[in-house]
Amino acid sequence: MSFHPENPLIVQGDRSLLLHTVRAVIGADGRPVKDDRGLPVTNEHPRYAEARDRLAAFAELEKSPEYLHSYRITPVSIWNAAAIGMTADDIVDTLEDLSCVPLPPNVLVDVRDWVGRYGMLRIEKAGEGETRGRFVLTAEQPGVIDEVLGFPSVAKLVHRDGDRVHLDELSRGSLKQALIRIGYPVDDRGGYTEGDAYPISLRHATLDGKAFCVRDYQDAAADAFHQDGGVTGGNGVVVLPCGAGKTVVGLAVMNRVGAKTLVLTTNTIAVRQWRMEILDKTELEEHEVSEYTGDQKVVAPVTISTYQMLTWRRSKSSDFEHMELFSGHNRGLVIYDEVHLLPAPIFRVTAELQARRRLGLTATLVREDGKEDEVFCLIGPKRYDVPWKVLEGRGFIAEARCVEVRVPLEASLKPGYASADARKKFRISSENPAKIQVLAQLFRKHAGARILVIGQYIDQLNALQRHFKAPLITGKTPNDERQRLYAAFRDGDESILIVSKVGNFAVDLPDAEVLIQVSGTFGSRQEEAQRLGRVLRPKSDGRGATFYAVVTHGTRDQDFAQKRQLFLAEQGYSYEIIDSGTLEDEVAIDPS
């Protein structure tokens, strides 16, 4: 048993990890240095950044207060690490190297057990002459098959014939779901239906003559997914920051697969952006790339649609009328953009489509509904990711400063806030009118910059529009008007643009330099990822980006803001916290 008090990590028996972000400054006399108030002086722990980056590979960040971040090791976090090649020894060695106290034995047992379970069960193609099903379930260790078949949820999906366990094609996804729920992730090596061949060549220059090439990390991500067309690849998720070119990864995969493709994304604007990117960076022509939306329903070799389109039905008892996009047309590849938002009906259909190659693209694997295991088993495991700060350091995304501005609750709202229930408290504090003055100060501070203001509540955004006379985009804004305003913002004709949560996803704002979040969705880490991503695209002059969250001090608004900050802490960003009363001093600072 050994102790290393200089290390930053404590590993606890419940599989939670406590990471010290700072440590006390020690004076020449060997005692902690104290400030004028008698409080210990601290500096960032010299191994904090290293520990943060190493833990992110196999643990989930749960809380990120200023001095002590807490993580948790889960089966899915370990299986995702195993999927990209980490061994149990790698994980244990990391914990031992970073921990200041001995590791609890049960944690070591759990890590080795979970890593060992990844790939313990496999789905493979049945041999010639086997007629009970197209696939077989095999196990590396004796007794495992008997153990899992003891669960009715598993047994009903397969047929046992002596030592062979068969399943048909439609049971492939359902079996993987059933097995992961009892703690057995399946390595699916059943192969794929190739789909109709359709070569997709990438351009060497975009349509406007600019040189185009796939960046090294985008190329590596496509290779990690495709794996030369073998059965060990062809499914899974690539995790990259907004602005780092996830769409280009999709194009590189389309090029490697060379088959008819379906792209699913979040909204019609995103559909059109995908189409523009495909036409700009591949040799495909207009008639080969189609939109399937409420505006036009055209099917082509490459078809782009929305999750909402595929899950639309006339009533709760009606069929999903457009699901034939999945099952028909003999596609070889399905791309799920923003896969962390995949709705439940798409999971159900994806379970029946395990013979198609499936690529998920996302900035974060976190799902607010806790269905990370569904993404893992139906779309596939994490195949590739790059920490945001790594790409920032290489200049592929803009350097970002993250600031929380705390505003007092307006006095007239305090009685109503005190008597409201929890949900109402959140709304009252989120819509605090005192935030308007903060926005005015920030607009002055960043005069001349392109500023995006984003919020959750339409009444609040309407009030901002009236006060600042700035354009507003909501879900009711027609697509043509949205495109006009986005273009005006990009071209500098509009320096301030206010958007509702429709601005979270796939909004092409490459020149946005400042984002001000005036309200958010409870504790959504997904949303924080998308909103920060709106300003991370590299600036032509190399300037950085600034992300402000304006929150009401001491309220539910602040409580949920702290939960949303988890994502930023995961990616290596620190949050500066300033009081709105001192913001005037900030305004005097050069915005650059």
Query: Which tokens hold the place of 103?
Result: 């590791």
115-164 pLDDT tens trace: 999 989 999 988 876 666 688 999 988 889 999 999 999 999 999 888 88
Residue 522's pLDDT is: 47
Compute the distance between CA of residue 573 and CA of residue 568 in angstroms, rounded to an integer. Answer: 5
Is residue 167 within 8 A of residue 197, CB to CB? The reply is no
For residues 556 and 422, is the Cβ–Cβ distance under 8 A?
Answer: yes
Given this model, what pLDDT does residue 29 score? Answer: 80
User: Residue 442 has what pLDDT?
Assistant: 93
User: Which pLDDT score is estimated for 133?
Assistant: 67
CATH 3.90.10.10 is held by the domain 216-386: no
Q: Which tokens in the block code for residue 303? A: 């078809």
Q: What is the pLDDT of residue 585?
A: 58
CA 159 – CA 136 distance, rounded (Å): 9
Q: What three-state secondary structure class fits 24?
A: strand
d(CA 122, CA 48): 38
CA distances from 407 to 178, 402, 404, 557 (A): 48, 16, 10, 10
Residue 335 confidence (pLDDT): 95
Residue 374 is predicted with a pLDDT of 82
pLDDT < 50 positions in the chain: 506-507, 510, 522-524, 587-592
Residue 539 has what pLDDT? 58
For the domain bounded by 392-587, which CATH number is listed? 3.40.50.300
CA dihedral for 168, 264, 292, 200, sign (positive or negative): negative
The predicted pLDDT at position 568 comes to 62
End-to-end CA distance of the chain: 51
What secondary structure, in 3-state letters, does 243-260 show? CCCHHHHHHHHHHHHCEC
CA 434 to chain centre: 32
Task: Give CA angle at 491 (494, 279), nearest 5°.
Answer: 130
Task: Spell out the domain ranges in the chain.
Answer: 9-117, 121-189, 216-386, 392-587
Domains 216-386 and 392-587 share a fold: yes
Give SS3 for 54: helix
**pLDDT value of position 354:** 82
Q: Which two tokens stand for residue 106?
A: 């049960």
pTM: 0.76
